[in-house]
């Protein structure tokens, strides 16, 4: 089952099930978060909750996408209660792209921190079920205010040094009123980042992640295939300037999803009832590692057949939100 959130022409929200070229409304459902909380309370999974409510009228899926009426597949009415985070160096091919950015000049025999943490993941990232493995690289990205709906452009602030895509699998979660995290499913995502800033110094990784992101347009409910193969490409003036395959799924990862989830939700501050979490699981494919430099007007397109419609976002410069010397005093 694949779910979407969308707006009617009058701005009212609906939840829909994707059936071929159509989106069928879930009766009496306005948000996926409410649907999930109701499923938790009823003690059923998300698919059974949808079946219990039933399906209503149909909408043309491509028309909803073209009119930018498809919303992120999970959000929160208060953006401060949606936390976006992620992990890196989790995929079997991920170290090579990152290592290119952090090679120690003049000492090729020395193992970089990138290669060291990747090695730890290969050795201990897939523990036995119910056990904790080695922890991955982890980062905070922002709250719900940084989430861009499918089809809209990423904001490029004046201080940004790069506008790079990161095609990733993302996990979508709601914290139940029992303070337990519940995974609704997965979506493809673009964990948009600043790789020039990151390359300057490892300690700038945190800064480089404080950018917009997008995920969806569809939420895939249920278990994932072990192997996922998709395509990431960049278009400029309608022409493809870069394209590459990206792989995901546990068969292509050095960490299990269970281990990555544990090392996020082990922190009690991430278990606040009612909150929403979007967690990016890393990538092995970066255009930046191939020498590509994006620019305003470029369009990112990320697709995996198992997730339905591709995720498309552009790049758009924005004015500075804050300038030096403008702090107020009390």
Q: What is the DSSP string of 253-277?
A: BSS-HHHHHHHHHTSGGG--TT-EE
Q: Which residue has the tokens 């990232």?
A: 125
Which of the four pLDDT bands, split at 50, 70 and 90, describes residue 106? very low
Query: So what's the architecture of 76-317 in CATH?
Result: Alpha-Beta Complex (3.90)
Average pLDDT over the chain reads: 93
Q: Which residues contact 28 (CB under 8 A, 6 or more apart)?
A: 53
CA–CA separation, 243 and 293 (whole Å) = 13
Measure the N-to-C terminal CA separation of the chain; round to a whole number of Å.
54
Give the predicted TM-score (pTM) of the model: 0.94
Q: Kindly report, residue by residue over 279-312, the tens digit of the pLDDT.
A: 999 988 899 989 999 999 999 999 999 999 999 9
Contact predicate 185/218, CB 8 Å: no
Q: Name the residue among 254, 256, 277 with its Cα closest to residue 267.
A: 277
Which of the four pLDDT bands, split at 50, 70 and 90, describes residue 258? very high
C-alpha distances (whole Å) from 92 to each of 2, 163, 246, 283 are 28, 24, 11, 9
The widest CA-to-CA distance across the chain, in whole angstroms, is: 65
Q: Which residue has the tokens 């552009």?
A: 314
Which of the four pLDDT bands, split at 50, 70 and 90, describes residue 122? confident
C-alpha distances (whole Å) from 145 to each of 131, 148, 191, 213, 214 are 34, 8, 14, 10, 11
DSSP 165: -
């Amino acid at each position: 089952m694949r779910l979407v959130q969308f707006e009617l022409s009058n701005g009212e929200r609906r939840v829909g099930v994707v059936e071929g070229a159509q989106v069928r409304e879930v009766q009496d459902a306005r948000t996926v978060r409410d649907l999930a909380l109701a499923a938790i309370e009823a003690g059923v999974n998300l698919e059974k909750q949808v079946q219990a409510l039933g399906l209503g009228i149909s909408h043309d899926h491509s028309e909803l996408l073209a009119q930018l009426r498809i919303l992120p597949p999970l959000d929160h009415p208060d953006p401060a209660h949606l936390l976006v985070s992620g992990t890196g160096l989790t995929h079997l091919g991920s170290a090579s792209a990152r290592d290119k950015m952090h090679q120690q000049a003049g000492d090729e025999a020395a193992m970089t921190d990138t290669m060291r943490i990747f090695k730890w993941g290969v050795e201990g990232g897939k523990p036995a079920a119910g056990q904790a493995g080695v922890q991955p690289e982890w980062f905070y990205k922002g709250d719900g205010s940084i989430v861009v709906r499918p089809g809209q452009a990423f904001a490029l602030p004046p201080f940004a040094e790069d506008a790079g895509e990161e095609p990733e699998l993302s996990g979508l979660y709601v914290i139940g009123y029992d303070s337990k995290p519940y995974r609704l499913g997965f979506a493809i995502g673009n964990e948009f980042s600043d790789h020039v800033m990151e390359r300057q110094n490892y300690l700038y990784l945190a800064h480089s992640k404080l950018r917009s992101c997008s995920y969806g347009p569809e939420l895939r409910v249920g278990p994932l295939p072990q192997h996922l193969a998709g395509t990431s490409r960049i278009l400029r003036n309608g022409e493809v300037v870069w394209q590459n395959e990206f792989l995901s799924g546990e068969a292509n990862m050095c960490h299990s999803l269970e281990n990555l989830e544990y090392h996020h939700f082990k922190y009690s501050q991430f278990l606040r009832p009612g909150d929403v979490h979007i967690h990016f699981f890393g990538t092995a494919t970066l255009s930046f590692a191939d020498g590509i430099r994006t620019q305003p007007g470029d369009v990112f397109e990320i697709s995996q057949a198992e997730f339905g419609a591709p995720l498309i976002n552009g790049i758009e410069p924005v004015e500075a939100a804050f300038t030096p010397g403008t702090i107020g005093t009390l």
